[in-house]
Structure 1
Amino acid sequence: MSHGLLFLLALTGELIAIASQNGSIYLFRVSRDGFSYKKSNKIRGAQPLMQLDWSSDSSFLQTVTADYDLSYCTYMQRSERFEYVVSLRFEYLFSGDVKSLSPEKSPIAMKDVKWYTHNATVGFMVSGMWNNRFYPMTSIISTASRSAAHDLLVSGDTDGYIRYPCINPKAEYNEEKVYSGTVACARFLFNDRNVVTVGGTDASLMLWQLVEE
């Protein structure tokens, strides 16, 4: 496996998915309270994977590539293998606006899937942060994270801005400019009271606290 891996444990604690920069997803079965990992399966891809999420029932994975292609695959428990469900391509104008969504298969079945985490920067549930009416989209969103309570969404973009809007495109938001370039990663901590962000080029690590205004 190449460098640049994404590790994500399923809600059940029995499976761990590893997304690689070579486009492949590796599935490992976890045992002995997390001390033992056995490779179960692998699904090959062609594009570097940037984000990865498990569904709440551990039946589906969603991934986002470096080209902002969103793919869903289902985990077949009996055979312990993956199968692709649908792949979507989000095409962007230079302004960053969503131009079109071209499904290879019908994606409607995936719209109501409940996700244990939501780190994907594109998808049905996070479309509001791409076309929020209160700010011009002149950059590309590079990272996102949904809170555990499912009521907040933090995002970072390629110009170094950090926002935590909700899913509604009409929602107001808080914004900070603290990075000189791309925000590489932003994540809520377990209590939803803090957010950790990492810069891409300046590599600075920051801890944020959410406070009531």
Structure 2
Amino acid sequence: TIGDDVSGIWPKDVKKDHINCAHALSSTIVTGDDHGAVNLFKFPCPEPGTEHKSYYGHSDNVTNVRFLANERYLVSLGGDDCCIFVWKCISKTNTDDDD
């Protein structure tokens, strides 16, 4: 994933193969990396090293990430751990649990 709008997903001091996957939807882009992290960025994020939130669950590399169509959930696939995680997306401004 390369382009001016996503330059911020790349850490300043990390090899370019560190990020394995990315998916953008609305105003958010999510990445999966070699260290088992699922990283959320505001989109667009044109500045390298943009502030973001990291969430951990996988024991090793994350091979794919996708927002579901309703934007309320995110799916991440682990490589070596062979796990599928479903993450609930909670807005910073709306933390009500309205399932």
- Aligning the two structures, in what range does the TM-score lie when normalised by the shorter sequence? 0.7 to 0.9
Within the alignment, does 1:160 sit opposite 2:36 as a pair?
yes
Structural RMSD (CA): 2.0
2:10 to 122, 127, 130: 130
Taking the TM superposition and a 5 Å limit, the aligned residue runs for 1:32-47 are: none
* Stretches (4+) displaced over 6 A: none
Rounded to whole Å, the distance in 1 between the matches of 2:22 and 2:52 is 14
For residues 159-205 of structure 1, the C-alpha deviation after alignment (integer angstroms, 9 at most, x for no partner) is 11111112323643211121121101000111111100000111100
Rounded to whole Å, the distance in 2 between the matches of 1:176 and 1:158 is 13
1:197 to 40, 56, 76: 76
Within the alignment, does 1:173 sit opposite 2:52 as a pair?
yes
What SS is found at the alignment partner of 2:22?
Answer: strand
Rounded to whole Å, the distance in 1 between the matches of 2:50 and 2:18 is 19
Pairwise CA distance, 1:125: 2.6
Pairwise CA distance, 1:128: 1.1
What SS is found at the alignment partner of 1:164?
Answer: strand
The aligned length equals 88
1:141 to 4, 7, 19: 19
Rounded to whole Å, the distance in 1 between the matches of 2:24 and 2:51 is 16
> What 5-or-longer segments of structure 1 have no aligned partner?
1-120
Rounded to whole Å, the distance in 1 between the matches of 2:14 and 2:71 is 26
Higher strand share: 1
Rounded to whole Å, the distance in 1 between the matches of 2:9 and 2:77 is 19
Counterpart amino acid of residue 202 in structure 1: D
Rounded to whole Å, the distance in 2 between the matches of 1:201 and 1:146 is 24
Rounded to whole Å, the distance in 2 between the matches of 1:180 and 1:131 is 21
Pairwise CA distance, 1:156: 0.6
* Identical-pair percentage: 28
For residues 13-65 of structure 1, the C-alpha deviation after alignment (integer angstroms, 9 at most, x for no partner) is xxxxxxxxxxxxxxxxxxxxxxxxxxxxxxxxxxxxxxxxxxxxxxxxxxxxx
Rounded to whole Å, the distance in 1 between the matches of 2:3 and 2:82 is 27
Pairwise CA distance, 1:211: 0.7
What SS is found at the alignment partner of 1:186?
Answer: strand
